[in-house]
A and B are shown apart, each in its own frame.
Chain A
Amino acid sequence: MKKQVHYSIKILGSLAAAIPMWLVAQNSPKFSMKGGARSVLANSELQVKDSVPDKVTAPKNAGGYALIDLGFNIRPNKNTEILGMIRINNRFGGFWGAGVTFNVRQLWLKGVIADKVRYQLGDINLKQTPFTFWNHDEDRCIQQPAVFDLQRDIVNYESFYVPGTWRQQGAAVDFGLESLKLKSEWNFRGYLTRLNATNYGSQPERLHVGSTANWVWNKKATLAYNLSRIFDVKETAAQPLLFQNTVQTLSWELRQAIGKKQFTLGGEAGNSSYRIVHDTASPHLQDFFVHGFVKVAPESKRWEAEAGYINVGPEFRSMAAQSKRIDYNAQPLLYNRYTQLQIDRPLHLLDFIGNANLYRTGINTKLMVYNPMINNVLPYGIATFNRKGFYAKAKYNIVKNTISMEAQHWRLSEILGQGTPELKKMDMTRLDVNCDAGKLLGMKKQAKLHVSACNQNTRRKSPRAYEELDLSSLLLSAGFELEVMNDIDLLGGYTALQAKGSDLMAIRNDYTEVIDFAGFSADQKHSTAAAGFRVRFGGKTYLALMYQRMQFQNKAQAFRDYSIGQMQAIYNMTF
């Protein structure tokens, strides 16, 4: 007779089995240094098309800095690690100590309790699932050539972007249970972070708590429950209003090999709740979402195909997953105003690639604005609300993996119309091709080529002309890396955004409800060409000298057209 459910866990006392991989080995030094150093010099020149001579804006601009991030990594024992990192920043032109600032860049502690439970405190990078807690890279629709990636890498470093994660301040723990006989493992992760401290007046203490409990069976099936909850703590402010946003999901994945192919059936589904307690004007937004996909790839991993479906309700709110990296209301540091009238300089595609001050480092509990020219289809990533439809993705490597191609096509529509029962339809097609030409042609030196494109279209047909809209945008990039001498590369690239058409953008109140619409029309082209040299000193250290020229054209308001040429020298070290 089989025994019924008697499940027990015996804990192994073996330390050797429990030492985590990521903690430093027993004989590592107690103290070491980590961090990075960087020097940037830049010279820029602005040219404006306005017929009125600009007698206010300085046409040329120079600046730069040299900084060191010194991280003191301390291991008081084999189970604990502490990192405190300071930044010393020296502005270009500041002699004898002028223009120097000191900051604390990060501070965290991590360790293992009783060889069972892993924890981290302080500045930590966290993520869960794309619908609960995720850092989408939605506005970087396409890959950029290496010549622009140099700037993007700096932005990622400054913003603590590790793919999918957000830099938070709080605590996290995780541990797991394993049953060899049942071929199962259960993992638990939990976190608590502080988003806002109270000001003892109008602003209460705002926390973000979450957890994931997953079950993995025989490495073939995974089922997880995910919870992400942002909430205000009662009685921590002099006003009674309390913000709450709760998202719960179930995610699953089934993997099965059939013949020589590996099939994966997966997805995630869940719901959300969003409201402000005690605020009589606040609605209680509740909605659900479903995401399902099937993926197939051969054993050789030479290609992969995926098809999926999403249905994200119009009132689905998950602020930890719908926060954006780019703040479109921020001003660039370079030439933030121009022309004789000193109007705000409209942002250019290159600003989004290389301007770290436009990027946020944490989640935002308010719905952020987006730029429909950059991404109108999924501006908040796959967790964008009011979307349903299908998508297909494919990856393919050919010629001994020297050429890799990735393609995606999304065919989506709104679930609920905005201002009209008619629904917007959205298409997005992406293609990325990378070619390791050096390997392909049997060259001794590196040579790489890259081409990417992303086309988006948003349209709405209606018997009423004022409801019709059609907005298209095309993002293109192409580039190369050519090793001309040992570790010296010639880099070149071109990237462009072309947007034309019109859309009606929702204007939302503080509760994210649509209260009005604003017309948006565009006939713009942003293009950038860049070329330069990079000397690789080994590891992650390089010197890059490059020139880039960006052009902004707005056919609707030609007097605002401008171009900026910039010469940069970047010396970057990471350690």
Chain B
Amino acid sequence: MMKKYALIVSMIGLATIAMTVHGQDSIRLAETPGVYPKSPTPSLERFQVSGYYRFITNVRHLQEGYADQMKTPLNIFVGDDSQIPQLLMNLGGSISPNTRFYTDFYLWTPMMGGGMAENVKGLNLGVSLTGTHDFEKGTLQIQTGGINWYALTPFTFHSNPGFNRFTVFERNPWDPMTRNAMDRYQTFYQTGAMNQDTRWGRQAFQGLIMDLSNLPNGFSGVLMYGKTQLNGGMTPLPNHSLGGKIKKGNDNRYLSINTFNNQTYSDSLLSSTLGFSIHTAEFRWQKNGWRIYGETGAGRYYSNSYNKGWGEAISLKLDIPQRVLRVPIQIHYFRISPKVINNSSVFWNSAIQEGNNTGAQSEAQLVLAPFSSAMVPVGQLTNNRTGIELNSEVKAGRFRINAGYTIAKELERIASQITYSHPVNNLALSRFWRWSFPAGVGPYANLTKVYRGVYETVDLLDVDGQKTPLKDKHFNTAELQVKYKTRMAGKELFVNYLGTYASVQSFASPFTVFTEKAWLRTYYHQIESYLKLADNLAWCNYAGAERVIANYDTRTDAISRRPKNQEGYAIATGFDIEMSKGAGLYIRQRKMYYKDRSFGKDRYRGWETTVEFKIFF
């Protein structure tokens, strides 16, 4: 070994023996060093970070309430149990103008005293990649990866946008900042709509979405493959949703053929499958203010224990311009068979129980929508129902009037229950149960929590031995929203009124039934006002009252022997303070009262304070 070393050294010496140096030499960096790669790798051209920080805390005190809640009458909660995090960042970058990636990333500190150990990080929508490719005959757009909010057609993949008849006193977690405190209310008054975020009217989808547009002859198409939040999960079973459409035409006139299909396996050998399919044709034609829009098709639900075949799904809308009847009117006819189900569409499922099956061992729900025969707002569709809706929106001076009316009937007698909501204290009531979405809670186990709300269930008594109703259900719902803008002490003032008058009964009626002949009557009145105190300060007020009255053909209380007879009130005030550009402080103080005169335990009374601090960047 030594001999070898000596030879090497001597060889190097021999190699240099005749060298002489003249002039200047240098130490410089080697051309081919040992570390790799040699050349710098390319870097991202555009990278953006945006998002918001939102601190919210809610304190509630009940003088009276349900047994579970009265164990701790004073409830202090830091955070948002709507599952919206404190710090949400949207990170995104473009490699080229036509490709982009983005992800969100959230941080949340529950502030429960546990320090770093309790802090949470994660993704909300996840990692998404997009790309656009223009080729000779069209454009291809790709969305893939994490959750993308997407809409196909109302019956296939969509969420109900509604008619913008809602109150805006309670802020949503996703509500954006406005330059001035009153801009939000001005926009609501002016356009009838709020600035909604990307998810408005859309559903969450994870997988691959390929969108072809600008094809020859006005064609376009979409192909979707992946999972919805209702058949999500990381099981290796090939549960999937597959949908798409082929469309010809432009935004004013088009015809499209659409489909959406879901297949889920409940065992690893794939012998037990369930799912649904819906195929529709959607069309739109408009000229001189007249507009016909519709979607018709067929759908079915299948499983090892259920296969009743196909059913119809029809939605036809006719918009009549103002010049014809002095007010613009939309007439909407709909008919959705009880055999049709699609929980990713605009209509709820109230006919096929297993389509909304809950988890095996929890009282939590899979689908956050009322089952049974729901008393729904105007514009909200459910299956097993047919009816006509009328909607109109007019301006009369400073008034903006938005009214709607629905007459509907169930197609088959399936559910022996009716569900309805409590809009006056809806959000406060939903906070009685944090984080999860339990069903069958409350003193009489008939409340179910959904996302930022609660609905209640009442049982019908005129049913047969199998609990099938003996009579058809007929629904009438009238909604009236009046918005008014004026000035008080030289300051802008907006006043909004929203009223809903609905009934469900066993006979057809052209109008809402206001007598005991209806199984259930619901009356909701909500009025709110927004007064500008300064550019960055708005004073907000709210008052609401609700009455829910059932008749003796519904379940009665065992003690009072009377049916539901509920009243609820709320009075609330608050401030919107724009602290600086992109930073806002929102305070709400609510006093609430609710009582069922027949069901003695169903009552609560108290107050709730919410403070929200939000900064966008």
Direct touching of A and B (C-beta under 8 Å): yes
* Size bin of chain A's contact surface: 35 or more
Which residues of A from 186 to 202 have beta carbons under 8 Å from B?
187-191
The 4 closest A-B pairs by CB, nearest first: A66-B145, A174-B33, A176-B30, A189-B34
CA distance A154 to B222 in the complex (A): 28
**Of B38-46, B59-67, B481-489, the one touching chain A:** B38-46
For this complex, 15 residue pairs linking A to B, each with C-beta atoms less than 8 Å apart, are: A3-B20, A24-B40, A58-B269, A59-B270, A62-B238, A62-B239, A67-B127, A90-B127, A92-B226, A94-B233, A97-B126, A98-B234, A165-B36, A178-B26, A180-B24
Mark each residue of chain A from 96 to 126: 1 if its CB lies under 8 Å from any CB of chain B, else 0. Answer: 1111101000000010100111101000111
Q: A5-B16, A41-B144, A41-B207 are in contact. Are A62 and B236 (CB under 8 A)?
A: yes
Q: A60-B237, A93-B232 are in contact. Are A33 and B47 (CB under 8 A)?
A: yes
Q: A66-B144, A162-B36, A575-B43 are in contact. Are A88 and B27 (CB under 8 A)?
A: no
CA distance A39 to B106 in the complex (A): 21
Q: How far is the CB of A263 from chain B (nearest CB, A)?
A: 21
- Residues on A with C-beta less than 8 A from B466 are none
Instruction: Give B contacts to A, CB under 8 Å.
Output: 4, 8, 12, 15-44, 47, 83, 91, 93, 95-96, 98-99, 101, 103, 105-106, 121-124, 126-129, 131-133, 135-137, 140, 142, 144-147, 204, 206-208, 225-227, 229, 232-240, 268-270
Query: A184 near B19 (CB under 8 angstroms)?
Result: yes
> Does A564 have its Cβ within 8 Å of any Cβ on chain B?
no
Nearest CB to that of A25 among chain B residues? B40
- Residues on B with C-beta less than 8 A from A8 are 21, 25
Most B CB contacts (10 A, CB to CB) among A41, A63, A187, A575 go to A575
Instruction: Give A contacts to B, CB under 8 Å.
Output: 2-3, 5-12, 17-18, 20-24, 32-35, 37-39, 41, 43, 55, 58-63, 66-68, 70, 73, 88-100, 102, 110, 112, 115-118, 120, 124-128, 162, 165, 172, 174-182, 184-185, 187-191, 212, 215, 223, 225, 248, 250, 271, 485-488, 535-539, 541, 543, 569, 571, 573-575
Most A CB contacts (10 A, CB to CB) among B34, B132, B226 go to B34
Query: A88 near B269 (CB under 8 angstroms)?
Result: no
Extra contacts besides A225-B8, A271-B4 (19): CB < 8 Å? A7-B16, A12-B24, A20-B29, A37-B145, A39-B145, A58-B237, A60-B237, A62-B236, A66-B144, A68-B101, A94-B234, A96-B83, A97-B126, A179-B19, A182-B21, A189-B30, A535-B140, A541-B99, A571-B144
CA distance A18 to B28 in the complex (A): 6
Query: B206 near A93 (CB under 8 angstroms)?
Result: yes
Query: A178 near B25 (CB under 8 angstroms)?
Result: yes
Most A CB contacts (10 A, CB to CB) among B38, B123, B233 go to B123
Query: B268 near A34 (CB under 8 angstroms)?
Result: no
CA distance A125 to B240 in the complex (A): 41
CA distance A102 to B96 in the complex (A): 26
Nearest CB to that of B41 among chain A residues? A34
Q: A165-B36, A181-B23 are in contact. Are A41 and B208 (CB under 8 A)?
A: yes
Query: A116 near B29 (CB under 8 angstroms)?
Result: yes
CA distance A184 to B240 in the complex (A): 66
Query: A539 near B15 (CB under 8 angstroms)?
Result: no
Q: How far is the CB of A233 from chain B (nearest CB, A)?
A: 22
Q: A9-B27, A12-B26 are in contact. Are A92 and B206 (CB under 8 A)?
A: yes
CA distance A20 to B31 in the complex (A): 9
Nearest CB to that of B267 among chain A residues? A58
CA distance A55 to B269 in the complex (A): 7
Query: A39 near B144 (CB under 8 angstroms)?
Result: yes
CA distance A124 to B38 in the complex (A): 12
Q: How far is the CB of A78 from chain B (nearest CB, A)?
A: 13
- Residues on B with C-beta less than 8 A from A225 are 8, 12
CA distance A178 to B37 in the complex (A): 23
Query: B26 near A62 (CB under 8 angstroms)?
Result: no
Query: B237 near A97 (CB under 8 angstroms)?
Result: no
User: How many A-B contacts at CB < 8 Å in the complex?
Assistant: 292
Query: B127 near A162 (CB under 8 angstroms)?
Result: no
CA distance A7 to B12 in the complex (A): 14
Q: How far is the CB of B171 from chain A (nearest CB, A)?
A: 21
Q: How far is the CB of B145 from chain A (nearest CB, A)?
A: 3
CA distance A112 to B19 in the complex (A): 29
CB contact between B234 and one of A41, A91, A538 (< 8 Å): that residue: A91
CA distance A488 to B138 in the complex (A): 12
Query: A61 near B101 (CB under 8 angstroms)?
Result: no
CB contact between A485 and one of B25, B135, B229, B237 (< 8 Å): that residue: B135
Query: B33 near A11 (CB under 8 angstroms)?
Result: no
CB contact between A488 and one of B4, B43, B135, B142 (< 8 Å): that residue: B135
Nearest CB to that of B126 among chain A residues? A90
Query: B135 near A62 (CB under 8 angstroms)?
Result: no
CA distance A281 to B118 in the complex (A): 53
Query: A573 near B101 (CB under 8 angstroms)?
Result: yes
CA distance A188 to B32 in the complex (A): 10
Nearest CB to that of B25 among chain A residues? A179
Query: B19 near A7 (CB under 8 angstroms)?
Result: yes
- Residues on A with C-beta less than 8 A from B103 are 68, 88, 90
CA distance A101 to B39 in the complex (A): 31
Nearest CB to that of B9 among chain A residues? A225
CB contact between B142 and one of A37, A60, A184, A571 (< 8 Å): that residue: A571
CA distance A17 to B29 in the complex (A): 9
CA distance A188 to B28 in the complex (A): 11
Q: How far is the CB of A36 from chain B (nearest CB, A)?
A: 9
Query: A118 near B29 (CB under 8 angstroms)?
Result: yes
Q: A41-B226, A97-B123 are in contact. Are A125 and B20 (CB under 8 A)?
A: no
Q: How far is the CB of B114 from chain A (nearest CB, A)?
A: 20
CB contact between B236 and one of A39, A58, A178 (< 8 Å): that residue: A58
Q: A88-B123, A539-B96, A575-B93 are in contact. Are A9 and B43 (CB under 8 A)?
A: no
Q: A5-B17, A575-B93 are in contact. Are A92 and B27 (CB under 8 A)?
A: no
Nearest CB to that of B5 among chain A residues? A248
Q: A184-B19, A539-B96 are in contact. Are A176 and B27 (CB under 8 A)?
A: yes
Query: B19 near A18 (CB under 8 angstroms)?
Result: no
- Residues on B with C-beta less than 8 A from A18 are 28-29
CA distance A212 to B226 in the complex (A): 53
Q: A73-B43, A215-B15, A573-B101 are in contact. Are A176 and B22 (CB under 8 A)?
A: no
- Residues on B with C-beta less than 8 A from A115 are 29
Query: A539 near B235 (CB under 8 angstroms)?
Result: no
Query: A486 near B136 (CB under 8 angstroms)?
Result: yes
Q: How far is the CB of A73 from chain B (nearest CB, A)?
A: 6
CB contact between A487 and one of B83, B129, B133, B269 (< 8 Å): that residue: B133
CB contact between A58 and one of B16, B121, B227, B268 (< 8 Å): that residue: B268
Nearest CB to that of B142 among chain A residues? A543
Query: B95 near A575 (CB under 8 angstroms)?
Result: yes
Q: A88-B105, A95-B229, A99-B234 are in contact. Are A569 and B144 (CB under 8 A)?
A: yes
CA distance A188 to B41 in the complex (A): 24
- Residues on B with C-beta less than 8 A from A178 are 25-28
